[in-house]
């Protein structure tokens, strides 16, 4: 567990770490020979689990044990975490003092070489991170655009300022640098092969180099900034230019041991050749190369290894010590389809079977991704509860992250399985993004909008939810002064921005405002760095309970479990953010906080930043194949083996063609079709390598799963493994059943179902025991369906009047349950359409009350008030406004064509019929030439009822009943009804009308009385009708499948 604190401007991480386990190894004859080898280069080949890395570590320890200076040994590998593991493995078994890290990456080695160069030039080298380089490229592209530079083809003009283009350009520069190309050579290749984009990219690359050199030359702090794409090539060229340095390094590192050599790129291989002497050991497995996207070149691995074998020796490790025989066999099946010599793939499994009852390989075919995730969760919980397997010895490997990872996380959360998933870029981390957003607002880089305010309020330091935000907006509108015409959105923005908070219960608003004010205050200091700004926000962010958010996260992390693992990840990400800010200040000492916040917010890739991270002691990992490289678990689930996903054989053709550049360098002049065919062939091999790596991560159990449904089929990889495991292939495969979850809730549910069966006595005894042991799921009072009905009394006393509005009479007749639930609050807040309807009614009333108003006046008032009706922007809002204006036009045409006399606008009434107290108002009340009253109700919705439905419409019948009962005496003395019209202003030239003729008085009175009795009753009837399909209450409706109660 890690935490962030600040002392004298520095971050301090506190770590809690379990001891690293060591184990005694018994080496095979071939391994012993490799460890003892001296005097000439040695190439060690072997598949996953053959002990290549163990040999390398033992080779280093053997030399140290024989008296060799450990500082003369250099171990190289492909990644920083891998290098750390190698260092730990050596350090734990020797007491020798090492002045420098014994294990490094190629980039670390190259950086050390350039630091030697820097001593001569007095310029301290600083390595830019990947995200920093991408941001730098994006800034240069933006600068070109602002200056009107147009060396790019016209068809790329709109793409130049996008993040995706900057990413592709960075990738092209990386691939070119790894192959020791120069801008001029890239331009020449573009001309030779008709790649016009390469010529433009070469111009940009030259400008990129010039700007980097200019920054270095003009930097007051004498820093040599190096981008990651060129660091290895720069080191190589430096050694070539200064052979005496290469001699010095060869004398210092008399032994070089390389792990996972297949992951190296051409530039790294060139650099290594400059450094190696006679004592060099290279471990490799071409079938396990997964780093092609980083520049690895597995296709040329064999040729590169031959260079060392010609000068020395090769040993092939055939014995596998990791996986059980069943898993080993699956790995062999996958590997059998690889191209090339099969000599090194002839392996023997040296792990004993785990017993007849043990399922080494489980194959599952499911109807949905949810079922697949539940099955994996079951298998993991079973292993934990029955076999006592630690969570940290289980992992799920996916081809790519995305929706599949989200489904798995949900299933694991429901099953109580703690999960640690791969960390995303800081800008997309849901816990860190709100902090960056508030910093952007504080620096002025982002304007406060409704969307921004809502994101801040919904953040953990805001503590609000969508319901409370709507409540706050309504409260602000209700509390504003009479002359304040600002919308709810504007009031919300003002509250956060300026502290204009004049309502009670707005703690979330006050927290955000105070935090923003403190951030702005610290920015007023001229020396403020991004680190200071972020610290001010982090140190003052409060949770909804008033406690510091930092303390809340720390407590959750120490508590452990699922939420603890999540808090651990959040704290690690926060420490990474602070470390990134510190590095940025170190690289650009005179920069403003705004620059860093803008850069980190735009990053789309994860930066390689060294921070003190908490070791998660016992969590399941969900990760990609690339992240699983070099690791192993007792149980591994490979999920999502779907057609089109794994293998993913879609051509990786990028816009700028970095993949074509690699193939051109390798194959030279070749027709485009031939080149594409070679690329496709390589892609097939790459995808199988990924599967091979995934399968061989498992030690005792492998779970392979896929989903089979109409639009989603298992891939050929799944069928290949399933056929091997199950023995035959079927055209009508059987779906794998999903067992009951092994959770307390599922156990109690099963026991409850047995209470009505033959084993009810045993089930009751077990439930009683669980309740005595304080298992909350066994508490009878918490069971759904057990608690009695809260009340069986009518909702309105039998002798009391029942309020009936005309619209509710119509709603109750359609469905009593829907009416009751909506009456009790089960409805959405006012939508834009509802607010628009109210506005159109108000404008209609204005015109009828003021004869001087013109159609243009009404349209002008509508346009002026539009931001109050719909605070959003964009084309949807514009279309809504056009629709509203057209409704005004239809109303005016309808109004002008009427010959009756208007006697009431928004005319209210209140009449009593039996128990029914009918209250409401009509949009328009007219009197005919014969002296009868006529009601008009304007509708702004798009759904028009049929003519027959209009005749029996209860809302219109209630209006007519009010006329006959004298409800409009204040408007006119007549009690004769001439009928009613529903006028739909959203349809037709002058609106579409539906007429209801005069009613049958006694029949309607009887119906209204019955409706009143029903509304005041204790039970309500759910009625299936044509509106059920679009009903918002389907999920709680007893006659719908998705709303039916599970307990009767």
4/582 Cα distance (integer angstroms): 14
The runs of H, that is alpha helices, within 415-449 are 433-443
**Residue-wise pLDDT tens digits, 178-216:** 777 889 988 888 888 888 888 888 999 888 888 877 765
Q: For residue 95, which of 70, 59, 72, 66 has the smallest C-alpha distance?
A: 70
Least confident of 61-65, 776-780, 906-910: 776-780
* Three-state SS at 804: strand
Nearest alpha carbon to residue 519 among 591, 604, 461: 461
The pLDDT, as a whole number, for residue 927 is 93
How confident is the model at residue 169, as a pLDDT? 86
| Residues in the chain, overall count | 1048
pLDDT of residue 583: 73
From 602, 631, 655, give the residue that closes a domain. Answer: 602
Query: Cis peptide leading into 647, omega within 30 of 0?
Result: yes
Q: Answer yes or no: do 892 and 1014 share one domain.
A: yes
Rounded-to-10 torsion of CA 102, 107, 111, 113: 70
Q: Quick one: pLDDT at residue 393?
A: 93
Neighbours of 768 (CB within 10 A): 12
Kindly state whether residue 608 falls inside one of the protein's structural domains. no
Place 350 in a pLDDT band, splitting at 50, 70 and 90. low
* pLDDT at 477 > cutoff 90: no
Cα end-to-end distance, the chain, whole Å = 47
- Ramachandran angles phi, psi of 42, nearest 5°: -130, 130
Mean pLDDT lowest among 35-49, 668-682, 828-842? 828-842
Q: Indicate if 988 and 937 belong to the same structural domain.
A: yes
Residue 337 domain-assigned (yes or no): no
Q: What is the mean pLDDT of residues 1003-1019?
A: 91
3-class DSSP assignment, residue 427: helix
- Using CA atoms, how far apart are residues 621 and 569, in angstroms rounded to an integer? 12
Which one-letter DSSP state was computed for residue 709?
Answer: B
Q: Which helix (H) or strand (E) holds 507?
A: helix 507-523
- Measured CA to CA, the distance from residue 880 to residue 832 in angstroms comes to 9
pLDDT digits 0-9 by tens, 209-228: 888 777 655 545 556 667 66
Quick one: which of 501, 536, 531, 494 has its CA closest to 515? Answer: 536
| Segment 738-794, tens digit of pLDDT | 888 888 888 888 888 888 888 888 888 988 888 888 887 888 877 776 777 778 888
Q: What is the pLDDT of residue 354?
A: 63
One DSSP character per residue, 25-42 reads ----HHHHHHHH--SS-E
**Residue 686 burial (CB < 10 Å; 0-12/13-18/19+)?**
buried
DSSP tag of 323: S
Tell me how far apart the alpha carbons of residues 1048 and 755 are, in angstroms, rounded to a whole number: 15
- Verify that 962 and 871 share a domain, yes or no: yes
**Shortest CA distance to 999 belongs to which of 1022, 965, 972?**
965
Structural domain harbouring 758: 744-782
The pLDDT value recorded for residue 931 is: 92
904 with 991, same domain? yes
- From the number of C-beta atoms within 10 Å of its C-beta (0-12, 13-18, 19+), residue 855 rates as middle
List, in sequence order, the alpha helices (H) in 242-347: 243-252, 266-275, 301-309, 325-335
Please, what is the average pLDDT of the chain?
82
Tell whether 10 is covered by a domain: no
Residue 339 lies in a domain: no
3-state percent breakdown (helix, strand, coil) of the chain, nearest 5: 50, 15, 35
Q: Do 255 and 154 lie in a common domain?
A: no
Judged by DSSP in three states, 997 sits in coil
Residue 390 lies in a domain: yes
* Residue 274 within a domain: yes
Chosen domain end from 602, 626, 645: 602
- Are 906 and 984 members of one domain? yes
Alpha-carbon distance of 24 to 479, in angstroms, equals 74
Are 755 and 817 in a shared domain? Answer: no
105 phi, psi to nearest 5 deg: -90, 165
Q: How confident is the model at residue 152 (pLDDT cuts 50, 70, 90)?
A: confident
Share of the chain above pLDDT 70, in %: 84
Q: What is the pLDDT of residue 15?
A: 46
Q: What is the pLDDT of residue 609?
A: 46
- Structure confidence at residue 1022 (pLDDT): 87
Which of 113-122, 758-767, 846-855, 898-907 is least confident?
113-122
- Residue 357: what pLDDT? 62
Q: Which residue has the higher pLDDT, 2 or 285?
A: 285
Question: CA dist 907 to 202, 390, 650, 931, 1004, Å?
Answer: 76, 73, 67, 17, 21
Pair of tokens at residue 337: 């389809």
One domain, residues 912 and 1010: yes
CA dist 176 and 657 (Å) reads 11
DSSP calls for 116-149: HHHHHHT-EEEEPPHHHHHHHHHHHHHHHHHHT-
pLDDT value at 871 more than 70: no
Of the two residues 498 and 481, the one the predictor is more confident about is 498
CA gap 378, 747 in Å, rounded: 13
pLDDT band for 460, please (50, 70, 90 cuts).
confident
pLDDT at 1040: 81
Distances (CA, A) of 179 to 146, 173, 204, 296, 507: 32, 10, 18, 11, 58
Confidence tier at 158 by pLDDT (50, 70, 90): confident
pLDDT (average), residues 278-283: 93
What DSSP string runs through 879-915? HHHHHHHHHHHHHHHHHHH--SEEEEEEEEEEEEETT
| Higher-scoring residue by pLDDT: 424, 581 | 581
Top-confidence range, 152-156, 516-520, 529-533: 516-520
pLDDT computed for residue 5 by the predictor: 47
Provide the pLDDT for residue 335: 87
Q: Which of 133-137, 296-300, 840-844, 886-890 has the highest mean pLDDT?
A: 886-890
What secondary structure does DSSP assign to 668-700, as a single string?
A: -S--HHHHHHHHHHHHHHHHHHHHHHHHTTEEE
Residues 451, 412: one domain?
no
**How many CA atoms does the CB half-sphere of 479 hold within 13 Å?**
16
Q: Check if the beta carbon of residue 3 is closer than 8 Å to that of residue 571.
A: yes
**Of residues 834 and 922, more confidently modeled:** 922
DSSP label of 776: G
Q: What is the pLDDT of residue 782?
A: 74
Residue 73 vs residues 169, 259, 994: alpha-carbon distances, Å: 38, 13, 92
Whether residues 221 and 234 share a domain: the answer is no
Its sign, for the CA torsion 524, 528, 534, 539, is negative
Higher pLDDT, residue 359 or 310: 310
Pairwise pLDDT comparison (616 vs 290), residue with the higher score: 290
Task: Give a three-class secondary structure readout of 551-592.
Answer: HHHHHHHHHCHHHHHHHHHHHHHHHHHHHHHHHHHHHCCCCC
For residue 991, pLDDT over 80 is answered with no
Contact 563, 385 (CB under 8 A): no
Return the structure tokens found at 434. Answer: 């709100």
| Model confidence at 2: pLDDT above 50 | no
CATH number assigned to the domain comprising residue 297: 3.40.50.300
Q: What is the dihedral of CA 968, 970, 975, 981, to 10 degrees?
A: -40
Residue 1034: inside a domain: no
459 and 556 part of one domain: yes
Q: Which of 178, 186, 173, 187 is nearest to 235 (CA)?
A: 178
**Residue of higher predicted confidence among 874 and 780:** 780
Q: What is the structure's pLDDT at 981? A: 92
Q: Cβ-count burial of 580 within 10 angstroms (0-12 exposed, 13-18 middle, 19+ buried)?
A: buried
Give the residue from 755, 749, 796 showing the smallest Cα distance to 775.
Answer: 749
Angle between helical axes of 488-498 and 450-458 (0-180°, round to 10): 60
Return the top range by mean pLDDT from 330-339, 601-610, 850-859, 927-936: 927-936
Q: How far apart are CA 395 and CA 623, in angstroms?
A: 8
Residue 479: pLDDT over 70: yes
282 in Cβ contact with 308 (< 8 Å) = yes
Q: Which residues of 230-244 are buried (b: 16+ CB within 10 A; e: fewer)?
A: bbbbbbbebbeeeee
**Overall average pLDDT of the 705-720 stretch:** 89
| CA–CA gap between residue 318 and residue 1021 (Å, rounded) | 74
Comparing 470 with 1043, the larger pLDDT belongs to 470
Q: Which residues pair with 223 in a beta bridge?
A: 124
Same domain, yes or no, for 925 and 895? Answer: yes
Decide if 595 contacts 575 (C-beta within 8 A): no
Q: Minimum mean pLDDT among 134-138, 664-668, 904-908: which range?
A: 664-668
Tokens for 186? 């890239």
SS3 518: helix
Tally the domains of the chain: 6
Q: What percent of the chain has pLDDT over 90?
A: 20
Task: Choose the final residue of a domain: 602, 628, 655.
Answer: 602
Between CA 626 and CA 82 the distance in angstroms is 13
Place of tokens 């000492």: 589
Query: d(Cα 30, Cα 50) in Å, to the nearest integer?
Result: 10
Token pair listed for 83 = 């290098």
**pLDDT over 60 (residue 492):** yes
* pLDDT for the residue 12: 45
State residue 82's pLDDT score.
87
For 644-697, write each residue's pLDDT tens digit.
888 887 766 567 878 778 777 776 667 667 767 777 777 788 889 899 999 999
Phi, psi of 347, deg, nearest 5: -120, 160
Give the pLDDT confidence of 223-260 residue by residue, as tens digits.
Answer: 666 766 678 888 888 888 888 888 989 999 999 999 99
356 within domain boundaries: no
| CA dist., res. 202 & res. 820, Å (int) | 70
Match 């029955």 to its residue by tokens. 386
- DSSP, collapsed to helix, strand or coil, labels residue 255 as strand
With 90 as the cut, is the pLDDT of residue 957 above it?
yes
């Amino acid at each position: 567990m890690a935490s962030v604190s600040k002392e004298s401007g520095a971050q301090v991480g506190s770590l809690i770490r379990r001891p690293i386990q060591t184990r005694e190894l018994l080496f095979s004859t071939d391994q012993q020979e490799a460890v003892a080898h001296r005097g000439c280069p040695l190439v060690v080949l072997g598949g996953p689990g053959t002990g290549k890395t163990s040999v390398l570590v033992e080779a280093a320890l053997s030399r140290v044990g024989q008296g060799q200076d450990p500082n003369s040994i250099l171990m190289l590998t492909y990644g920083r975490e891998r290098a750390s593991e190698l260092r730990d493995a050596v350090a734990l078994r020797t007491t020798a003092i090492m002045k420098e890290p014994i294990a490094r990456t190629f980039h670390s080695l190259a950086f050390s070489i350039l630091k030697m160069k820097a001593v001569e030039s007095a310029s301290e080298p600083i390595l830019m991170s990947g995200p920093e380089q991408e941001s730098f490229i994006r800034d240069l592209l933006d600068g070109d655009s602002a200056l009107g530079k147009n060396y790019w083809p016209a068809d790329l003009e709109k793409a130049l300022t996008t993040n995706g283009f900057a990413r592709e350009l960075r990738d092209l520069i990386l691939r070119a640098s790894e192959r020791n190309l120069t801008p001029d050579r890239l331009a020449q290749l573009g001309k030779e092969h008709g790649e016009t984009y390469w010529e433009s990219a070469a111009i940009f690359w030259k400008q990129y180099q010039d700007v980097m050199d200019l920054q270095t030359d003009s930097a007051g702090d004498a820093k040599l900034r190096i981008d990651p794409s060129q660091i290895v090539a720069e080191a190589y060229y430096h050694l070539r230019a200064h052979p005496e340095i290469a001699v010095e390094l060869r004398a210092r590192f008399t032994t070089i041991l390389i792990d996972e050599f297949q992951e190296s790129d051409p530039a790294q291989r060139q650099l290594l050749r400059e450094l190696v002497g006679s004592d060099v050991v290279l471990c490799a497995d071409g079938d396990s190369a997964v780093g092609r996207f980083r520049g690895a070149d597995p296709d040329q691995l064999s040729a590169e290894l031959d260079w060392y074998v010609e000068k020395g020796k090769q040993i092939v490790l055939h014995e596998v010590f990791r996986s059980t025989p069943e898993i080993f066999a699956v790995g062999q099946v996958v590997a059998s389809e690889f191209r090339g010599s099969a000599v090194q793939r002839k392996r023997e499994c040296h792990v004993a079977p785990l017993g007849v009852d043990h399922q080494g390989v489980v194959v599952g075919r499911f109807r949905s991704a949810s079922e697949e995730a539940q099955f994996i969760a079951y298998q993991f919980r079973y292993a934990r509860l029955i076999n006592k397997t630690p969570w940290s010895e289980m992992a799920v490997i996916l081809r790519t992250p995305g929706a599949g990872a989200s489904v798995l996380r949900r299933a694991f959360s429901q099953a109580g399985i703690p999960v640690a998933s791969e960390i995303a870029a800081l800008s997309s981390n849901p816990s860190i993004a709100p902090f960056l957003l508030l910093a952007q607002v504080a620096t002025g880089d982002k304007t406060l909008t409704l969307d921004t305010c809502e994101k801040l309020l919904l953040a953990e330091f805001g503590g609000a939810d969508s319901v409370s935000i709507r409540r706050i907006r309504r409260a602000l509108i209700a509390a504003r002064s009479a002359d304040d015409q600002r919308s709810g959105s504007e009031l919300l923005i003002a509250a956060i921005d300026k502290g204009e908070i004049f309502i009670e219960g707005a703690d979330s608003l006050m927290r955000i405002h105070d935090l923003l004010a403190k951030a702005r205050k610290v920015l007023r200091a001229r020396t403020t760095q991004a680190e200071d700004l972020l610290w001010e926000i982090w140190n003052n962010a409060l949770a909804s309970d008033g406690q510091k958010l930092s303390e809340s996260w720390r407590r959750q992390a120490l508590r452990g479990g699922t939420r603890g693992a999540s808090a651990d990840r959040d704290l690690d990400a926060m420490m990474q953010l602070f470390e990134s800010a510190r590095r940025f200040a170190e690289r650009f000492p005179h920069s403003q906080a705004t620059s860093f916040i803008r850069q980190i917010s735009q990053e789309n890739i994860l930066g390689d930043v060294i921070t003190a991270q908490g070791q998660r002691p016992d969590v399941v990992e969900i990760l990609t194949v690339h992240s699983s490289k070099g690791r192993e678990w007792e149980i591994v689930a490979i999920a999502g083996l779907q057609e089109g996903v794994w293998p993913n054989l879609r051509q990786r053709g990028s816009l700028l063609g970095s993949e074509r550049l690699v193939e051109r360098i390798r194959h030279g002049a070749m027709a485009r079709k031939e080149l594409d065919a070679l690329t496709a062939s390589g892609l097939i091999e790459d995808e199988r390598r990924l599967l091979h790596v995934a399968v061989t991560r498992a030690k005792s159990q492998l779970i392979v799963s896929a989903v089979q449904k109409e639009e989603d089929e298992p891939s050929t990889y799944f069928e290949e493994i399933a056929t091997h495991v199950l023995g035959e292939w079927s055209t009508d495969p059987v779906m794998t059943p999903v067992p009951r979850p092994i959770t307390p809730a599922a156990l109690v549910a099963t026991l409850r179902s047995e209470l009505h069966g033959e084993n009810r006595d045993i089930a009751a005894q077990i439930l009683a025991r669980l309740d005595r042991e304080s298992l909350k799921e066994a508490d009878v009072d918490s069971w759904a369906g057990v608690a009695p009905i809260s009340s069986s009394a009518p909702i309105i006393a039998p002798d009391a009047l029942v309020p009936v509005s005309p619209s509710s009479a119509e709603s109750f007749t359609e469905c009593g349950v829907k009416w009751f639930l909506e009456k009790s609050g089960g409805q959405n807040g006012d939508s834009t359409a509802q607010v628009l309807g109210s506005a159109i009614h108000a404008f209609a009333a204005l015109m009828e009350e003021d004869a001087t108003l013109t159609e243009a006046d009404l349209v002008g008032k509508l346009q002026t008030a539009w931001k109050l009706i719909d605070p959003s922007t964009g084309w949807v809002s514009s279309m809504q406004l056009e629709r509203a204006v057209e409704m005004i036009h239809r109303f005016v045409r309808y109004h002008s064509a009427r010959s009756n006399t208007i006697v009431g606008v928004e005319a209210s009434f209140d009449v009593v019929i039996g128990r029914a107290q009918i209250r409401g108002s009509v949009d328009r009340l007219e009197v005919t030439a014969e002296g009868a009253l006529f009601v008009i109700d304007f509708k702004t919705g798009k759904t028009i009822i049929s003519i027959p439905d209009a005749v029996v419409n209860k809302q219109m019948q209630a209006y007519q009943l009010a006329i006959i009962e004298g409800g409009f005496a204040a408007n006119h003395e007549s009690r004769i009804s001439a009928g009613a019209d529903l006028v739909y202003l959203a349809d037709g030239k002058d609106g579409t009308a539906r007429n209801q003729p005069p009613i049958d008085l006694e029949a309607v009175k009887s119906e209204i009385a019955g409706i009143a009795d029903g509304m005041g009753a204790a039970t309500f009837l759910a009625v299936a009708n044509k509106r059920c399909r679009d009903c918002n209450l389907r999920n709680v409706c007893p006659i719908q499948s998705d709303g039916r109660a599970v307990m009767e």
